[in-house]
Structure 1
Amino acid sequence: MFTGIIETLGKVEKLEKDGGNLNITIASDITSELKIDQSVAHNGVCLTAVAIDGDSYTVTAIEETLNKTNLDDLELGDTVNLERAMVLGARLDGHIVQGHVDQTAVCISVEEKDGSWIYSFEYDPKLNNVTIEKGSITVDGVSLTVVDSQKTSFSVAIIPYTHAHTRFHTYKAGTKVNLEFDVIGKYVARLLELRG
C-alpha cells in the first residue's frame, strides 16, 4: 500500500530481458534503506526488490505488468518516480494507492499557468475507468486531484514542488504514463455494474 507521495527519483542503470520478464536495475538514494523482498512503487507500479548492490537495486516486472504499464518503454538513463510502502500508523498525505496500474494514458497537452502547470491526459474508455472532478487519480505513482474530468480525458494541476521532484518536468505531448484510478471509486462503479 502506498500514498502517492513520491520520495525520490531513481535512474535506470540496467535493463535485462529474461524470457517474458524484464529485470530493471535502479540507482537511488533510498537503496541503502531497502531490503530484499521489499515493495517499492516505480512510476506507480508495485515491484519487489530482488537484489541490492551498493547504491543500486533490481526489481523484476513480469510480462503482465509490462503489457499494462509504461515500464516496457524504459530506456537506460530514464528517471522513475519512487515510493516505498507506507508505514502503518503514519500520516496518509496522498490517498490510498495500491500500486496496481489500471491502464496507461497519453499526455495530450502541457500548459504553463504563471508558476504552475496544467497537464491533460487521454485514456482508452473501453476499460470503464472513470474520473470525477476533485476526485483522486494516480499518474506514474503521483497522488493528484482531478481538475477537469471528461469521458476519455482529465487534467491535473501541478505545483512547482511536484514539477521539480517527480517525472512531471519531463512530460510533453505524447508521453505515456501509468494510471491508477481511485480504489473506492472502482469498487462503487463495480457494485453499480453488478446491480444492473
Structure 2
Amino acid sequence: MTARNIDPLERRQIDSTGENGAAASSLLYEAIRKVRPDLVGELAFNVSYTAIFKAEASEEEVAAVDALLRPYAERSFADPRARYITWYLIAIGITDLDVASHIADDMELLQNVPGARRALNDDADLMSKVASPDNIQHIDRVLRLDGEHVRDAQLLILVDMVGKKFFRQAPELQWIKNSHFRGEHPRMDKALDRMGT
C-alpha cells in the first residue's frame, strides 16, 4: 500500500476519516476519567460524554476538565484536534476560550481552498460561540477576508452576531453596515440595519 501525501491545507479541513475526531474523543475520555471515573462506561448509544458530564458534574469538576483540555483547544488549528476539543469544551459550558485568533488564522488560510466550506462554516460557528468584546479584532479580520469560498461563513457570523449588543456597537465594525454584504439577501440587510444600535 502506497502512502498518500496529504496536502497540509487538506489536513486543516474537517476530517472525513474520523481519525482526528477519535483522537480528540480519546483526550476527552481521559480527562473525564481522571475527574469523574464513575462516568466511565456510562456512554450509551447517541449520548455523548459531554452531555453526561455536563448533567452530572459540579463546577469544580467542569473546571478540572477545562484545565486538562484547554491547552489542546487554545492552539493552532494546524493540530486538527484543537477544533474538536474546542467544541467539547463549549459543550460543557466553557466559552471563554482564547481561540478567536486561531479561528481567524484558519479561515484566512482556507478562504480560497475548494472543498473547505464545511471547515469554514464550522469556524464561523465557533467564532460566534467564543465571540466577545475582547476579540473584536479577530471578528473584524474574518469579515474583511475576500476569498472565493469564505462568503457563506462570513454571512453566518453576521447573522449570529448581530443579536449581540457588543458586536453591533463596536466602533471597529461599523464599516459593515454599508459594506459589500449589503444586498446579499433581505434578511442580511435587516441584520445590517441593526449595526450601531
Fold match by TM threshold 0.5: no
Query: Greater share of helix residues, 1 or 2?
Result: 2
TM-score (norm 2): 0.23
> Could you say which structure has the greater relative contact order, defined with CA pairs below 8 angstroms and 6 or more residues apart?
1
TM-score (norm 1): 0.23
Query: Greater share of strand residues, 1 or 2?
Result: 1
